[in-house]
Structure 1
Amino acid sequence: MNKIVYVTILTVLLFTACDKEESIKPDNVIPVVKSESSYTVLTDEDITYADGLGHNSTSTSPMAIPQKLDVYYPDNNSDNRPVFMFIHGGGFKGGTKTKPEIVEMGKYYASRGWVFVSIDYRTVEELGSINGMSREEVLMFYKGIAPQEWMENAFQGAETIEQLQQSIAMYTTQRDAKAALRWIVANSNTYNINADFITVGGASAGSITTIALGISNQEDFRDEISITDDPTLSTTNLNETYTVRSMVYFWGSNIKLDVFESVYGLNRYDANDPELFMAHGDQYDAVTPFEEAIELQGIYDNLGIYSKLVTLEGFGHGAWDATVNGKGLFELSYDFIVERQSLRVE
């Protein structure tokens, strides 16, 4: 399929790696987590992790917009905590880090010993109005917000202004998610995080962003725009690096990597990509079809990387209340992370 078509499909409907040959670590550097809720959960809310350029409804020039995250962490004395960063959905049009299911998930994991970080990021809401603008005016309006080559690709696939802005928001979302993860690494001592045990997850658009975050190279969605055109890059902990150990995918897709390949001609999949847990409903889903999960599992199988697909039978998109063999999404993903990261459980 023509890669440009992927942009159209996504925008109409929705709208790094760790070495698998891991050395055996001594017990004292492997985090300990609890099998049951064991700790009071503390929360630090609305922390600015970076700025990003954007527009309000009346601006004519890009402005710096603070991007926020919430940190859920256990009230214990551990200095060796795993971390789980979660990215909300919303079709790249909106959404919030405080979606009730995500708040519940944050408390679930933090009460068992994780640091859980829920992030907001730039969406169409921060892209202002481009009604009546010419192609050249739009390119100038979003200079420093998205690379020109990404915008040119979006113009080819989009049929409406909304679709065009959603395609551009795909880029800003990714840039911000990577900045959030670098912030986590930069602040690991504050929250006693062991950065060797990083999990990234998301739902829907957040899941699409998760896949691109874990599989793309560190410089992708970061270096396509110069710091001259986007001075806010200086707020994003550019010197930090990270290794994603596990990815958790709820009803998502690998479409953003397809778009990235269409724009830059770069296929980023390789045998060192993070292991992957997927939960996806098998019912009709116009947003992220079940076939997307099957495709991604096939890519992983061909690369020899461990992945697990849990089929949510009888469910479609947004199946937060789904259960499989009596286990909900939180417990299913917990089991995967604990097993594949060889965490010590008490």
Structure 2
Amino acid sequence: MKHLFLLLSLLAGLIRPTAAQIDTTGGQFHQPLYPVPSVTAGVAYGSAPNSGGTTLPLLMDIYQPVGAPAAPRPLIILVHGGAFLGGSRTDYDVQELCRRFARLGYVTASIDYRLESFFTFSGSRAVVNAVHDLRAAVRFFRQDAATANQYNINPLYIFAGGSSAGAITAVHAAYLDKDAELAALNAPGVAPGLEGSSGNPGYSSAIGAGINLCGAIGNLSWLEAGDEPLVSVHGTTDGIVPYGTGPTFTGDVVNGSGAIQPRAAAVGVPNTLRTFRGAGHVPYNGTSAAQLAYMDTTFRTVRDFLRPLLVAAAPLPVRLTSFTAERQDAGVLLRWQTAQEENSAGYAVEVSADGRSFRHLGFVASRAPYSTTPTSYRFVDREAGGPGLRYYRLRQLDLDGKEAFYGPQVLRFGAEAPLAVYPNPVSGPTATALVASTGGGVLELRDALGRLVSRQTLPAAAGPSQRVALPELASRPPGVYHLLLRDAAGAVQQVRLLKQ
């Protein structure tokens, strides 16, 4: 389950000493107990091709507290701003925050990441590449903690954040955690998968909390119950990244901190938002009196949010990176993969004919209740084959009895309907269209008055059907909507759906 806190007693004897509870007594992680930190500049944490195809080294500067106790330290990774076109790890705001938090006792790192060319700029590609690079940096430190331990970090206490474009990167690294969400971004030319290929494979890229300084998320539905805590600061008159919902500097419509906060509260994600009334973009980035005052407030807001997270073990959540269902001669093969598991007993496989009432099919035990490496699972449903729709979901069970649900995945048996939507009525943040194999076409979502909500161009389907996410429903009011499929020959199919 994607819970974020677990009593230390559950971990006793199951994790190595470096994952023990952090000592916050004596002003640790709250007062500047240490002098100017030592800085190791230009540390390579990976490499990846940029949008032009040139492979670039990925570098970071690492700040370590001087004179701190030998116990492993929590880590904060920060990502600079610059509209995904400029900026660097030596920008004032990220450097200053790295220095300040290192003086509290944290290990901190400021990373560079791949930037876009002005002439070939793609906002979706910029975000996905930056997320992949940030995840490689997280894996770098977990790999170091498991091997040379050069930087003395505690792998259970890794936090990531950034400023402006860096905050957008960190927020998506925290909440863009499903293949369908990644596919919805439709980013051109990026490495496949949620983890990417920027370096240090085989280690978890999960973070314990996100730090959002004037950032945004592409879709509020990606923020779900049990997700990582988030601390945000944002100015209400930000003209670069909107405080609420609106276009950002990339031209894409996003949801800023003022829109993220109520969504996080509604789904129960721990969060704090410090609103700077009347302030513009990154008001803390500079050395004027006003900018320094904003920096002081930003620093204290993040400090006071993170410190309570250190007093109990912050285990990694179970994070499902893929869940698929495909037909086989003997039935249906279900496959899923986790990036890490914490306190996990296993997965109950459930099936439904209507997407609402599910029954138990079988159980697959976790290979390891505590794991920070990718793990694959499979289950074969040998009952399948009758006509109609068949919905599959996973009920993930913790050792302490808690549970979380993943899915559903849906398959149609018998004659293929040209167009279907599940679930319908739509009770969650989004829905999926199931489109029978065609030579391509256009899928339109319209409201009850016929006004266009969204339009997607569909490629020719390779299999019997294709699934198309409808994330636009997350921000739409309840009511009746119509989904229209116009195939390459001009024929139109339509299905009516209800959002509750």
TM-score normalized by the length of structure 2: 0.50
SS at match of 2:105: coil
Residue segments in structure 1 that go unaligned for 5+ positions in a row: 1-16, 57-61, 130-160, 259-266
**306 and 77 in structure 1: CA distance in 2 versus 1, 3 angstrom threshold:** closer
1:293-338 CA-to-partner distances (Å, cap 9, x unmatched) read 12111211121111111111231101112647x9521122111101
Which has the larger share of strand?
A: 2
Cα pair 2:79 2:169 within 8 Å, conserved: yes
Letter in 2 for 1:210: A
1:44 CA displacement: 0.8
**Structure 2 CA distance, aligned partners of 1:227 and 1:330?**
34
The answer for the alignment partner of 2:143 in structure 1 is 186
**Structure 2 CA distance, aligned partners of 1:273 and 1:51?**
29
SS at match of 2:129: helix
The alignment status of 1:339 with 2:296, answered yes or no, reads no
1:242 CA displacement: 3.5
1:234 CA displacement: 6.0
The answer for the alignment partner of 2:55 in structure 1 is 64
**Structure 2 CA distance, aligned partners of 1:204 and 1:227?**
22
**Structure 1 CA distance, aligned partners of 2:190 and 2:293?**
46
**208 and 329 in structure 1: CA distance in 2 versus 1, 3 angstrom threshold:** same
1:218 CA displacement: 7.9
Query: Aligned residues, how many?
Result: 275
The answer for the alignment partner of 2:230 in structure 1 is 276
The alignment status of 1:51 with 2:47, answered yes or no, reads yes
The answer for the alignment partner of 1:171 in structure 2 is 128
1:186 CA displacement: 1.1
1:31 CA displacement: 4.0
Letter in 1 for 2:273: L
Residue segments in structure 2 that go unaligned for 5+ positions in a row: 13-18, 245-255, 285-290, 314-500
**274 and 28 in structure 1: CA distance in 2 versus 1, 3 angstrom threshold:** closer
The answer for the alignment partner of 2:357 in structure 1 is none
1:136-161 CA-to-partner distances (Å, cap 9, x unmatched) read xxxxxxxxxxxxxxxxxxxxxxxxx4
SS at match of 2:273: strand
Which has the larger share of helix?
A: 1
**168 and 323 in structure 1: CA distance in 2 versus 1, 3 angstrom threshold:** same
Letter in 1 for 2:61: D
Cα pair 1:227 1:234 within 8 Å, conserved: no
**55 and 21 in structure 1: CA distance in 2 versus 1, 3 angstrom threshold:** closer
Indicate the percent of aligned positions where both proteins have the same amino acid. 23
**Structure 2 CA distance, aligned partners of 1:218 and 1:93?**
26
Matches within 5 A, 1:74-153: 74-75=65-66, 76-125=68-117
Superposition CA RMSD, Å: 3.3
1:225 CA displacement: 10
Say which of 287, 291, 303 aligns to 2:240.
Answer: 287
**Structure 2 CA distance, aligned partners of 1:23 and 1:113?**
23
The alignment status of 1:22 with 2:6, answered yes or no, reads yes
SS at match of 2:93: helix
Question: In terms of Rg, which structure is larger?
Answer: 2
1:287 CA displacement: 1.3
**175 and 228 in structure 1: CA distance in 2 versus 1, 3 angstrom threshold:** closer
The alignment status of 1:300 with 2:264, answered yes or no, reads yes
The answer for the alignment partner of 2:391 in structure 1 is none
